[in-house]
Structure 1
Amino acid sequence: MAEQPRRSKQKEQKRGTAKKKKRMTPRKWFFALFFTAVFAVVCGIIGYLFITLNGERILTEQADKLVLGEASIIYDVNGKEVTKLYDASANRENAEFDEMPKLLLDAFVATEDQRFYEHSGIDFFSIGRAVVKDVIARSKVEGASTITQQLAKNIFLTADKTFFRKATEASIAVALENKYSKQEILTLYLNRIPFGKGIYGIKGAADYYFDKDLKDLKLWQIATLAGMPKAPNRYNPINDPESSMARRAVILKLMYDQKLITQQEMEEAKAVVYEPPANLEEKKSDPYKAYIDYVIEEAVKVIPNMTEEELRIGGYRIYTSLNPTAQQAVEKEFADDDNFEKSTDDQKAQGAMIIMDHRDGTIQAMAGGRDYVRKGLNRVEVKRQPGSAFKPIVSYGPALETGDYYPWTVINQEQQKCFGDYCPRDPHGAGAVSMQQAIKESRNLAAVWMLNEVGINNGIAFAKKLGIELAPEDRNLAIALGGLTNGVTPLQMAEAYSVFANGGKSVDPHTITKIENTSNKKVFTYRAPQAKQLMKPETAWYMTQMMQTVLESGGTGTGARIDRPVAGKTGTSQHGIPGFNSSANRDAWFVGYSPEWTAAVWMGYDITDKQHVIKKSSSQAAAMFGKVMKQAMKNVKKSSFQQPSGIKQEVKEQTAVTNFNAVFLADQAKVQLSWTAPEDSKGVTYRVYRKDSSESEFSVFVDAITTSVDDMSVFPGMTYQYYVVAYNAEEDKESKASESITIEVPETEVDIPEQPMEPDTPDDGELPEIPNDGTNGEVTPTPPVDPNQPVETETPPGDGGTDSPGPGNDNGNNGNGNGSVDPGQGADGPVESTDPGTGDGTVTGKGTTDKNDAGSAGGKA
């Protein structure tokens, strides 16, 4: 039992010894603190090196991010800005440091980073102050990021708030401060930060919210902009004017506290009420979408190896031929629902229009459709069936080019209404018609007959010269009426008609005149290709004269008239819906030109079915042309179509006599001849030609000044033939001969009336007195007319078909077999109508041809 107390005492002694060992002496404290400090310094140095080196590494690897993407700008023909090619992350226009007023720079520094010019990327003083305030408020009430850190976050980092991300932000900020000056950092910052409404950068914000250049900003505007980066969508003056105004007051107080402005300036700037600029809607509306999309497509093509994204954010200045007056006229009329047929549902009747100056190929204006959206379906580049608008390109143009046909050439297709098994019908029926009248009334048979005469191969080759290459399946007569396999675009039609308008010379459609980069260096300048003479100037002139009649009374395009000369052609295509019996159409066109500009208008539905067809035909397309062009060209100097040298004028024939009649009067032993004078009988005499049964040729029997004459020199048993021509001595023209009439004089003896005998001497026995006129009483006979004198006539080129007019409506029904068509009726005249047939070497109807047209056909080439 004695041992136990002894053990307890020993344990207590050991515990006391242990306590003494744990006690820190001053010396130990010194060394502990020393090594802790050393460790901290080493960690700090390592941390600093890590931050610095990591920031330098990131900055080096991602240096391209420092090159700010800048929105490229598109300018109109007057050099005025139209729009910026904003990208989702680059809706900006960069400003140089020298462009920024000092007060603007001071406002942002006062608001975002008051010690900006003193720290090296990280402001430890501000961090400490922020920590103290946060501790006192027991929540985060103040940020400590410098402008440099905000720039680093904006350029290189995501928006997460992890410790590692904040450390990386700090490291990049230090690297930025080591590499760039304060001016450069501030410039980068102000060009990159967001200002709401998708706007990035101070220059774009000043323009959008105030319609001002940076140098023209007032104090209240500067303070408004300086307050926005903290919460761009909340503090922009459009979204929330009250919050913006309150935030502006805070910024002005900060500027006043830092003695940047006076109290009076602060109070005056606080009181201003924001009013949006007058042109804000234009800035918001993203104007002229179809034209801008076309410009972008063209720019990517003309700058080698350029992507659209690179183009948009490359800061390029793209100068175009966009004519604001013309474009606004197009936009206005395409926004008017009354210019389009009403649909039965939500699918709207659509349209497209392009206007170009054929003198230099510049595209003035464009509509890609109604309610066009950016990067949408640009119907100017969509192929449709051209209908009768294709007749000048493939039938009449090639015919005029041969030099064998003229506008006044008479096409007589009375004997030919079918071409193989292809029998296009038209409401005018068959008959003689001039080529000019055929195109005015849009006759089908005439166009098909003409293509058959010049040859399908020649028609296709002529179209190719005008920029339209047809498919192999198009080698048939249906192309005369616009029945194509693939169709054509409004742009192609405008280009083709521009050649007629340009005296037969090629035209190169384009929108861009030049492109400059951010260094004002030209990276592209448009140079027109050498113009080619694609057709004779005479051909272009004659076609222009012919198509001017289309707008005259009785023509199919009267609605396209404006206050200057215009030539053009309408066109429609059949709906082509199987089992649908209707005269409605799939496509309606008008393509025309003045001496200065060419335009093509198309109307129809994107998807054609029984509920979505055009009922008003080409009249509405012609009306759209007239409405737009009248406004679009109001500032364009008027001119006239220039006639080239060597143009032949129509030689008008002397009108022939009518109702020629000849009858033998037995009781008087004479043949009595009579006729009706022509309408243009002024100064006209008549030549009666006669040939008896013993003669081989006709000769002039008598010249007469009246419309009747007697032949008393006939003999029994003889046969006589007569015809009459009208003769204009002043112009030395004979008309065509009347019909020939044959008279047989009977063999029976003819009683010749006994003539009283004049006595040899008078009753008074005196001789008759001889006149003293040197004739000795003899009568001088009329000198005979030379029977070999030529008769001027014009032989018609042959037979053919007819084609239909229709100033308002080019309607008809598609068909099969022999190609019959039921014509429709237009708004102000007959209609264009045709139909494809089927048969060997003729037509297979596609249902995509003009109302005057057929589907696909084969025939004489």
Structure 2
Amino acid sequence: MNRGCSMSRNMNTKPKKKKKSKWSVRRMIFWMIITAGTATVCVLVGYALIIFNGQKLLGKIDPSELVMGSPTAIYDEKGVFVANLNQLKSEPVKYTDIPPLMIDAVIATEDKRFNEHTGIDFLSIGRAVVKDIIHRSAVEGGSTITQQLAKNILFENPDKTLFRKATEASLAIALEEQFTKEEIITLYLNRINFGNRSYGIKVAAKRYFDKELKDLELWEMATLAAIPKSPKYYSPVLYPDNSKDRRAVVLKLMFDQGFITEAEKDKANAVIYKAPPQVATSENYLSFIDYTVEEALDKYNIEEDALKKGGYKIYTTMNTKAQKIMEESFKNDKMFQKSDEEQQFQGAMVIVDHKTGGLVAMVGGRDYEKQGLNRATLKQQPGSSFKPLAVYAPAIETGEYNPYSILEDKQNDYNGYKPRNYNNQYLGEVTMFDAVKKSMNQPAVWLLNEIKMARSLKFLKALDIPLEKNDENLAIALGGLTKGATPISMAQAYGSFANNGAMYTAHSILKITLNDEVIETFKADKPKQVMSKKTAWYTTLLLKGVIESGGTGTAAKMNRPVAGKTGSTQLTIKGYEKFTKDLWFVGYTPEWTAAVWMGFDKPDKNHYVTISSGSAAALFKDVMSKALDKVPVTNFVKPSGVPELTEPPKGIIDLTVTLDPALPNKANINWTPIADSAVSYRIYRKSTETEFEMLAEIKNNQAVSDLTIVPGQTYQYYVVTFLPDSNTESNNSNVVDLVVPVTDVSPSPTELIIPSPTDDGTIPVISESPNPEESTNPDETPSPTPTESSTPEPTPSLTPTESPLPTPTPVPVIEVQP
């Protein structure tokens, strides 16, 4: 019974639970209504605040600033004002001056609901929010044209944040309330950035097409409408392919929205853009300023519109004297090849202070004012100017080579790669000094093959010169790269030679301030030691020789020390390979390093280099000598701890070997001695049965005969000079062949002079003075008179032996006559 009563009570409680559940639902509905009402009130209050804030913001803005913002100023290395970024002022136009189709193109591309919304397009915002959530970051703006105008006016918070969006929205609503749609689209097109320092639709039409607005064609309007999304990336001048692709998108949107027909779309799509010849502006420093802007955008992440119109002050590394001189030189037609109507012969130059990495001056092209294409930042094939970076400096860095090392100069086949010297002449062997001075190709490729590709690639990587996978071959010894190198990267790399192997990163900005408060500053990190001081010094000695008589860079010689390297590349068009495509000179003084490039933007059968290969070096001299004219002349200084580079003796170039008419088994050996009493001469001989071995070592100008030749044999001879004090030999003389005919005549024993062997079994040095009365004591050999230079200048055709010379071995007998 108790159990049943208990069950009855439990059953009676169920309806009560249902009543409690109904009560909970009612409470939930109640609170939902309260919450919704509160949210509505908050939204209304928030909207009211947005409206109020927008009106307040708009009231603070000077009406004149609705066309253009306050300028950002540029200063030189001394803190002197040089220019404003928005020096190319917008030229405002009226709504009626803008072609209706131009307005249609912009609306179709940027904001197709422009004529329907009141400043904010909630559909676009919703789409943007969804994408932001998916990507977990702000990837899409969802901004209307009015919001873009608001952002363009405000520009103080460049990041895509909720606060900035709210501020933009408030100002956009205020703009919609105060201005008509026609006024808003006109304000937008009058102040928007169209790239290449062009603000406003009128300036852009003149810049890109040299036309008035009323004369623009459909494809031109679509091209302009494509630019604002990314003014640099969609510039028809800088990136014509990107521009054409984006133009196609604009035209499709116009077609989809009923503004144009399909036939009009296809016709406008087919046009190929060609930049018009325009009248240059009177502005200065454009290349340098534009590079500075790019550096601020890329390195300091400042938005372009904010940078150009945000009242910043940018302090740069520019030397205004050098910059003006460089620009004047580029305006001098005598320094360049004559151009035709199709293409302008171009050039670019950059100067770097290798002690800091600061850019001193830069010109990106002869008509840079018109195009804004900065060729100082474009990759070109560097030719032979790449040899010191890819071959010679890495070889010296191994410790196995120096400027006097002997390199092979023969025609070789490297698995199908057959480089040749420019004059098709080969010397067999040359010193590194001669190979660099005369820009010989075969020795460079041979040496790269000897030190191995991996060593060169590692060295280039340290110099911040990126290569492609396809570049890992011997062609890089001659500058044969897939994409090439920029003048800035070449100047930066060469600067490490001038700076004892230490390399700074090239830069143009020292600091950026806003409202007199420093917001960004260049962090001067320690330079990167990319090579030893010894390698840098020895390479400088090599490159100094290029400038001297007989070198390829004599046009760069001026009234102060210069080191550098020329470069040229061949046209790759079949049948035109003998013509030149690019000219280079990269060089340095103790103060600055500079790189010069010359050529055509689009080389073809009618556009290739015809001027002297020294023209780039001549431009280097013209700019550098004038820019440094008030700077005291200094010399390159050997770093402490670097060993002196001993200059080897001069070599023999006129060796002759002939059979004696009276004695068929006697060979007479003759040469012109050098004017150095400290040297001796070593005679080497090779027979049919033996390799080269030393016959003897003699001193002074003596008549020498080989009395041990055998009839029917063929011999080869060469002579080297030898300095006992430094234990170095010169380069080999010319090699002479001697064929001994078969004969029955035998030499008389009385004609043989047989020196007695020394205790160690070697043949002694035979030294006989032409005049016995002038004989001197060996211990009294005079020392060379010291000069002001601590290191002797390299001279052609000289080489030291890389290891201690072997002790002469017993050899056949020779006859020496005073």
Task: Select 1:614's aligned residue among 602, 606, 609.
Answer: 609
Q: Name the aligned partner's letter for residue 76 of structure 1.
A: D
Deviations 1:570-602 (A, max 9, x none): 111222223x43633221111111111011111
Q: Which moved more, 1:647-656 or 1:435-444?
A: 647-656
In 1, Cα distance between equivalents of 2:175 and 2:723:
99
Shift of 1:650: 3.2
Cα distance 1:389–1:663, how it changes in 2: closer, same or farther (>3 A)? same
Shift of 1:466: 1.0
Give the structure with higher Rg (CA). 1
Indicate if the aligned counterparts of 1:330 and 1:366 stay in contact, CA closer than 8 A: yes
Q: Name the aligned partner's letter for residue 82 of structure 2.
A: V
Deviations 1:478-504 (A, max 9, x none): 111111111111111111111112111
Shift of 1:681: 5.8
In 2, Cα distance between equivalents of 1:610 and 1:723:
50
Q: Secondary structure at the match of 1:603?
A: strand
In 2, Cα distance between equivalents of 1:616 and 1:682:
46
Q: Name the aligned partner's letter for residue 641 of structure 1.
A: F
In 2, Cα distance between equivalents of 1:787 and 1:699:
14
Task: Select 2:389's aligned residue among 381, 393, 399.
Answer: 393
Task: Select 1:301's aligned residue among 298, 302, 305.
Answer: 298
In 1, Cα distance between equivalents of 2:606 and 2:315:
43
Deviations 1:621-669 (A, max 9, x none): 11111111111122333322121222342351475794456869789xx
Within-5 A mapping of 1:112-511: 285-304=282-301, 306-373=302-369, 376-414=372-410, 416-426=411-421, 427-431=423-427, 432-511=429-508
Indicate if the aligned counterparts of 1:688 and 1:722 stay in contact, CA closer than 8 A: no
Aligned to 1:512: 509
1:588 aligns with 2:583: yes
Shift of 1:679: 2.3
Task: Select 2:593's aligned residue among 595, 598, 619.
Answer: 598
Shift of 1:55: 12
In 1, Cα distance between equivalents of 2:567 and 2:624:
19
In 2, Cα distance between equivalents of 1:690 and 1:785:
24
Indicate if the aligned counterparts of 1:700 and 1:785 stay in contact, CA closer than 8 A: no
Indicate if the aligned counterparts of 2:568 and 2:613 stay in contact, CA closer than 8 A: yes
In 1, Cα distance between equivalents of 2:179 and 2:723:
107
Aligned to 1:778: none
Which structure ranks higher in relative contact order (CA pairs < 8 Å, sequence separation ≥ 6)? 1
Aligned to 1:22: none
Indicate if the aligned counterparts of 1:417 and 1:430 stay in contact, CA closer than 8 A: no
Shift of 1:348: 0.8
Indicate if the aligned counterparts of 2:576 and 2:605 stay in contact, CA closer than 8 A: no
Q: Name the aligned partner's letter for residue 328 of structure 1.
A: K
Q: Secondary structure at the match of 1:406?
A: coil
1:82 aligns with 2:79: no
Task: Select 2:629's aligned residue among 634, 639, 662.
Answer: 634
Aligned to 2:250: none
Q: Which moved more, 1:532-541 or 1:65-74?
A: 65-74
Shift of 1:782: 9.3
1:553 aligns with 2:546: no
In 2, Cα distance between equivalents of 1:57 and 1:546:
70
In 2, Cα distance between equivalents of 1:459 and 1:752:
59
Q: Secondary structure at the match of 1:599?
A: strand
Aligned to 1:131: none
Deviations 1:603-626 (A, max 9, x none): 111112222211115322111111
In 2, Cα distance between equivalents of 1:660 and 1:380:
57
In 2, Cα distance between equivalents of 1:472 and 1:456:
12
In 1, Cα distance between equivalents of 2:572 and 2:342:
22
In 2, Cα distance between equivalents of 1:74 and 1:629:
24
Shift of 1:342: 1.5
Deviations 1:728-748 (A, max 9, x none): 798486968999999999999
Q: Name the aligned partner's letter for residue 72 of structure 1.
A: T
Q: Name the aligned partner's letter for residue 433 of structure 1.
A: V
Deviations 1:447-466 (A, max 9, x none): 11111111122222211211
In 1, Cα distance between equivalents of 2:537 and 2:746:
66
In 2, Cα distance between equivalents of 1:410 and 1:649:
15
In 1, Cα distance between equivalents of 2:49 and 2:443:
81
Shift of 1:406: 1.1
Q: Name the aligned partner's letter for residue 77 of structure 1.
A: E
Shift of 1:473: 0.7
Aligned to 2:205: none
Shift of 1:787: 3.6
Q: Secondary structure at the match of 1:467?
A: coil
In 2, Cα distance between equivalents of 1:541 and 1:702:
34
In 1, Cα distance between equivalents of 2:621 and 2:462:
28
Q: Secondary structure at the match of 2:368?
A: coil
Q: Secondary structure at the match of 2:538?
A: helix
Aligned to 2:70: 70
In 2, Cα distance between equivalents of 1:453 and 1:592:
27
In 2, Cα distance between equivalents of 1:345 and 1:563:
38
Shift of 1:395: 1.4
Within-5 A mapping of 1:645-794: 645-653=641-649, 658-659=655-656, 675-676=670-671, 678-680=673-675, 682=677, 707-708=702-703, 731=725, 784=758, 787-788=761-762
1:61 aligns with 2:58: no
Q: Which moved more, 1:699-708 or 1:382-391?
A: 699-708
Shift of 1:515: 1.5
Cα distance 1:62–1:508, how it changes in 2: closer, same or farther (>3 A)? farther
Cα distance 1:477–1:78, how it changes in 2: closer, same or farther (>3 A)? same
Shift of 1:364: 0.8
Q: Which moved more, 1:682-691 or 1:529-538?
A: 682-691
Q: Secondary structure at the match of 1:411?
A: strand
Q: Name the aligned partner's letter for residue 79 of structure 2.
A: G
Indicate if the aligned counterparts of 1:654 and 1:734 stay in contact, CA closer than 8 A: no
In 2, Cα distance between equivalents of 1:409 and 1:665:
42
Aligned to 1:643: 638
Q: Secondary structure at the match of 2:503?
A: coil
Aligned to 2:559: 563
Indicate if the aligned counterparts of 2:445 and 2:477 stay in contact, CA closer than 8 A: yes
In 2, Cα distance between equivalents of 1:739 and 1:535:
42
Aligned to 1:183: none
Shift of 1:407: 0.9
In 1, Cα distance between equivalents of 2:486 and 2:683:
59
Q: Secondary structure at the match of 1:290?
A: helix
Superposition TM-score, scaled by structure 2 size: 0.56
In 2, Cα distance between equivalents of 1:405 and 1:343:
44
Listed as ranges, the gaps of 5+ residues in structure 2 are: 1-46, 63-68, 92-170, 184-198, 201-280, 687-691, 766-798, 804-818
Superposition TM-score, scaled by structure 1 size: 0.53
Cα RMSD, aligned residues only = 4.9
In 2, Cα distance between equivalents of 1:534 and 1:566:
21
Q: Name the aligned partner's letter for residue 419 of structure 2.
A: P
The alignment-based identity, stated in percent, is 38
In 1, Cα distance between equivalents of 2:650 and 2:545:
24
Indicate if the aligned counterparts of 1:658 and 1:678 stay in contact, CA closer than 8 A: no
Indicate if the aligned counterparts of 2:669 and 2:706 stay in contact, CA closer than 8 A: no
